[in-house]
Amino acid sequence: MPPRVIPVRSSVDFNAFVDLPFELHAASPQWTPDLRSETVSLLTPGEHPFWACARRELFLALRQGRPVGRIAAIVDDKYNAYAGLACGAFGFFECEDDRETAHALLDAARDWLRGQGMTFMRGPLNPSTNYTCGLLVQGFHLPPTIMMPWNPTWYPELLESWHLRKEQDLLAYCIRREEFTPPEQLSAEVARLKAEARFSCRVSGKDTLAEDIAIMLDLYRDSWAENWGFAPLSPGEAERLVRELSAVMDPEFFVLFFHGREPAAGMVALPDMAPLLRKLKGRLGPTALWHWWRTRAQTRAGYRIILFGIRQEYRLLGLPLLLLDYLLEKAREHPRFQWVEGSWVLEDNVAVDELIEDFCGRLTKRYRIYRRDLES
């Protein structure tokens, strides 16, 4: 029987929407679920600040009454006003290995977005580029790091068979401890920049963490404003992000550089909590503390660079080198530290891609954002 696609209206359907990936990916060791409560909050207008300037429709695919797929159609009015576009997004896509089901879900999202006046759709965005986004197309055998997606190998074919085409690739680079040896020429340039002492740096701490995150978000806005897909955070989203980052931040891996008193650049690397999330299976419970104790060595062995920003007027003064050098110096101080992932980086941001490669970064994963015009 063909699948039946329904809009999510009842709490029963909403719970089925949230729980579907747990059923589809239970046997996949790489799959890393977010906490179920966080997913519920993120999907709930009126509870999560993203929806103050956005709207969505959730769809569930049923086959003989059993959920077999899901998708969200999203309009981010704040992003569209900023970018001057009529962009609709699809996200939270999960599906059995079946073209008919995938196409029925994508048809439903397309029709809803057309009805909202959108001229094209892109995704997956869950629900924007400030959150988990992209479809894994390379590196399926590797588990994701914190706040990065994972999906089965058949998802790209399902989307591409519906005539979605690549709009942008997002890259993940890994630098391993045993390869922390930048080329001699680069090391000499870093030494020269340090000797000039044009910039001072400050590591964050408990007393300044909230203030420092606000500074970092301002640097992020300034440095990313002209990049593809940039979506400014609302004050409510920024406040929530401060709370979330504060809960998992390792202040030693949060550094700000200043030119005089003006913040010029900053970087935040989070400990990779993904091993713990895989153990928790989406729920906090009586065993959560035990799982944290069992995985604490893993979570401190790897980090993900989640924020990296340089104010535009300082971009050509060597700050990218100083930021990465600081991270690697800090890593050398901790025997537990084994690797850091830089993700994600825009494929067309060649300068940053080449810089990471100069610092011995290896491309390990590739995530794709797809696009389709709604007239076709």
Are 143 and 193 within one domain?
Answer: no
The structure tokens listed for 32 are 């890393």
- Given pLDDT bands bounded at 50, 70 and 90, which one contains residue 290? low
269-277 average pLDDT score: 91
Are 218 and 155 within one domain?
Answer: no
**Is 219 a domain residue?**
yes
For 184-203, how does the pLDDT look when each residue is reduced to its tens digit (9 = 90+)? Answer: 888 899 999 999 999 999 99
pTM of the model: 0.94
What are the C-alpha distances in Å from 169 to residues 344, 349, 366, 371?
9, 10, 7, 12
For 309-364, how does the pLDDT look when each residue is reduced to its tens digit (9 = 90+)? Answer: 999 899 889 999 999 999 888 888 888 889 999 999 999 999 889 989 988 899 99
Quote the pLDDT of residue 46.
Answer: 95
**Is 374 a domain residue?**
no
Residue 70: phi and psi, rounded to 5, are -155, 160
Residue 293 has pLDDT above 70, yes or no: no
91 in Cβ contact with 133 (< 8 Å): yes
The structure tokens listed for 229 are 């897909």
**Is 371 a domain residue?**
no
Cα first-last separation, the chain: 27
Name the domain boundary from 108, 136, 171.
171
The domain in which residue 301 lies consists of 174-366
Instruction: Please provide the DSSP assignment of 167-191 as one string.
Output: EEEEEEEEEEGGG----HHHHHHHH
Distance of CA 220 to the CA centre of its chain: 14
The H or E element spanning position 358 is helix 350-358
Q: How far apart are CA 255 and CA 323, in angstroms?
A: 8
Are 278 and 335 within one domain?
Answer: yes
Instruction: Please provide the DSSP assignment of 145-168 as one string.
Output: -TT-----TTHHHHHHTTT-EEEE
For 138-157, how does the pLDDT look when each residue is reduced to its tens digit (9 = 90+)? Answer: 999 999 999 999 999 999 99
Name the domain boundary from 171, 197, 226.
171
Are 210 and 78 within one domain?
Answer: no
Residue 333: partners with Cβ closer than 8 Å, 6 or more residues away: none
Residue 296 has pLDDT above 80, yes or no: no
For 2-12, how does the pLDDT look when each residue is reduced to its tens digit (9 = 90+)? Answer: 899 999 999 99
- The residue assigned the tokens 């009842």 is 10
CA 222, 224, 226: angle at the middle one, nearest 5?
100
Name the domain boundary from 155, 171, 187.
171
**Is 278 a domain residue?**
yes
Are 135 and 237 within one domain?
Answer: no
- Number of folded domains in the chain? 2
What are the C-alpha distances in Å from 258 to residues 25, 209, 216, 251, 322?
45, 16, 12, 17, 12
The structure tokens listed for 160 are 């591409």
Give the CA-trace dihedral at 75, 104, 130, 34, to 10 degrees. Answer: 130
The H or E element spanning position 100 is helix 99-115
CATH at 48: 3.40.630.30
Residue 260: partners with Cβ closer than 8 Å, 6 or more residues away: none
Are 165 and 182 within one domain?
Answer: no
